[in-house]
A and B are shown apart, each in its own frame.
Chain A
Amino acid sequence: MDNLYQQRLNRFLTTAAHQEPDCVPFLHVAETWNLSYAGVKAIDVENDKHKEFEAFAKPYEVFDFDGISMPCLSRDVNMYGALGGGAYFYSSDGVTIQHQEYVFMKDDEYPKLIENPIKFAINEIFPRKFPELNKPYPANKEALKKALNFYNSYIQKMVKAGEFHASKQMPCLMGGIGQAPFDIIMDYFRGFKGIMTDMRRHKQEVKEACEALVPIIMASILQGREKLDAYPYVFFPLHAPTFLNAKQFETLYWPTFREILYQVKELGGKAMIALEGDWSHLYTFVNDFPEEFATVFIEKDDIIKAKKEIGDRVTLAGGIELGMLRSSSKEVCVDHTKKIIDHCAPGGGFIFTTDKSLLAPGDVKIENYLAVNQAVHKYGKY
């Protein structure tokens, strides 16, 4: 690996060790925005991985990132489409990939989920979710085989994408996905409304279902390996906590999520955790994350306050809202960037990035994003 790649990577590894690198690292968190920046749509690259990779690298011609979160599109719409359904689809203009919530599980089905989550999903949920699987044999098998072929291509794409960006001297920080059991139940089985009711009416069953999902989630993180690497990180996007009070979080969400975090740590891995929404009421639990383990994305919290309250335990990633980059002047954005660096950079444990992933073409004003990128490297020198 060339020096530039290692120099960039070292900035992240050093700051994650709560030491000061040569300058504050700038992490580019984006998916379909990259495609728009390169002048193509998500739908244009569905059968052309080379075009997708090149589009994801297009910003490198102008911007000076130290790393990226995602090397390519993280969802393959065609895989779900081959089965006649799924929650992911292209927007009507073909520019972005969208997600719609579906609820495929009823509230009296917890015992089956608890007994064997995978068997329940295959036998009960898949026929409701994927119409093609209800066709007579062998048409249902052909549909499944088609979806499997898309999955094979997707796995190969993810591997090649990482290699492609490394060849461009760009580290990609995320190397796998993990989830919290409570979020799995909410996102893929019961939906937001369902889980919010179940927390009250089926509390014990929700707890037991979370416990049943722990080995499944660990198997998905390990992917057949016995140990995990400390880098790249396992990425955990966390959805429900911003909607839970501290007591609900402590009772239902935290026990099994904590178990997963500590298992990942025990196996040698480290994590990037998206604290989606506002987590300021849950800092007690963040301060119980494994030591020297997690980098957390800050979305709605006051990052200066977060630096004081959780900054010794975890590395913070954040600093500027997409709304400011979209609507404010360049001067306002740069002044804000300097203020955030003043408060968050000392002692390391800080990565500058946006509060959300860049998806739509208008998510940021290009000149603002570029000015902030330059300011981080100029003003963020240690």
Chain B
Amino acid sequence: MDENKERSIEELFEELKDELVFLPEIDAVRAGYLFGFKYTLIQ
């Protein structure tokens, strides 16, 4: 993605998912972890 392009908040979360290096590189695991983060931010 263009370094200067503005990102939607969904895209920001997607980028963060790729940076969760302490988790295995399994999409479902990382998405599950981020779900917990998103849900906590809703509260």
Contact = CB atoms under 8 A, between A and B. Distances in A.
Interface of A: 79-80, 83, 86-87, 118-119, 121-123, 125-127, 130, 133, 136-137, 140-141, 144-145, 147-148, 151-152, 154-155, 184, 187-188, 216, 219-220, 223-224
B32 to A, nearest CB: 5
Interface in B1-20: 4-10, 12-13, 15-16, 19
A79 to B, nearest CB: 7
A140 B40 contact: no
A188 to B, nearest CB: 5
Interface in B22-40: 22, 29, 32, 35-40
B21 to A, nearest CB: 11
Minimum-distance CB pairs A-B, first 5: A224-B32, A220-B39, A151-B37, A121-B42, A141-B12
Contacts of A216: 39
Contacts of B16: 141, 144-145, 148
A133 B7 CA distance: 10
A37 B5 CA distance: 52
Contact of B6 (A87, A137, A151): A137
Contacts of A118: 35, 38-39, 42
18 contacts: A80-B41, A118-B38, A121-B42, A127-B9, A137-B7, A140-B9, A141-B7, A144-B12, A144-B13, A148-B16, A151-B40, A155-B36, A184-B42, A188-B42, A220-B36, A220-B39, A223-B32, A223-B36
A119 B7 CA distance: 15
Say what secondary structure dominates the interface of chain B. helix
B9 A122 contact: yes
A140 B7 contact: yes
Given A123-B10, A141-B16, 7 more contacts: A121-B38, A122-B38, A123-B9, A125-B42, A148-B16, A220-B35, A224-B29
Nearest to B7: A137
A155 B23 CA distance: 14
Contacts of B9: 122-123, 126-127, 133, 140, 144
Contacts of A140: 7, 9, 12
Say what secondary structure dominates the interface of chain A. helix
Given A141-B15, A148-B16, A220-B36, A123 B8 contact: yes
Contacts of B4: 137
Contacts of A220: 35-36, 39
Nearest to A184: B42
A147 B16 CA distance: 11
Given A141-B12, A145-B16, A136 B6 contact: yes
A231 to B, nearest CB: 21
A79 B36 CA distance: 13
Contacts of A127: 9
Contacts of B43: 87, 187-188
Contacts of A147: 37, 41
A141 B35 CA distance: 17
B35 A219 contact: yes
Contacts of A136: 6
A130 B43 CA distance: 12
A195 B13 CA distance: 30
Contact of B37 (A137, A148, A224): A148
A160 to B, nearest CB: 16
Nearest to A118: B38
Nearest to A189: B42
B41 A126 contact: yes
A124 to B, nearest CB: 10
Contact of B5 (A87, A137, A219): A137
Nearest to B34: A148
Given A141-B15, A148-B16, A122 B36 contact: no
